[in-house]
Amino acid sequence: MVLQIELTEEQRLILERIAGARGVSLTDLVRSSVEDLVRRDDERRALSLSGRFRSGEGNLSAEHDRYLADAFGDSQSSGWGPFFADASLVAPPEFEPEDE
């Protein structure tokens, strides 16, 4: 896909200087910068959920593997990749968001 954007002369010069210092093309610099921005935004959104839900369990941080295994019916205590790779899975109903 081709995307055309307008930069100020100063922005273009700065990006060219950074690309040259890194030994990459301007195109590669912009692409990697966009990827970094998306990754940071994903991390920011994930962190914004921290503390917004209550389980009612006093030891959830220490026993999270066991609670996940119970909730998703898995007998393993680790190896959660298959669960989180499946976007169709949602949090169990007992994990309700706090009222704001």
- Parent domain of 21: 9-48
- The pLDDT tens digits along the chain (100 residues) read 888 999 999 999 999 999 999 999 999 999 999 999 888 888 888 777 777 777 677 777 788 788 778 877 755 544 444 444 444 444 555 555 555 5
Q: Please check whether residue 39 lies inside any domain of the structure.
A: yes
For residue 78, tell me if it sits in a domain: no
27 lies in some domain: yes
Whether 91 is covered by a domain: the verdict is no
Number of domains in the chain: 1
Query: Which pLDDT score, from 0 to 100, does residue 80 have?
Result: 47
Q: Is residue 41 part of a domain?
A: yes
63 inside domain: no
Report yes or no: 97 and 53 within 8 Å, Cβ to Cβ: yes
In a domain, 89, yes or no: no
In a domain, 82, yes or no: no
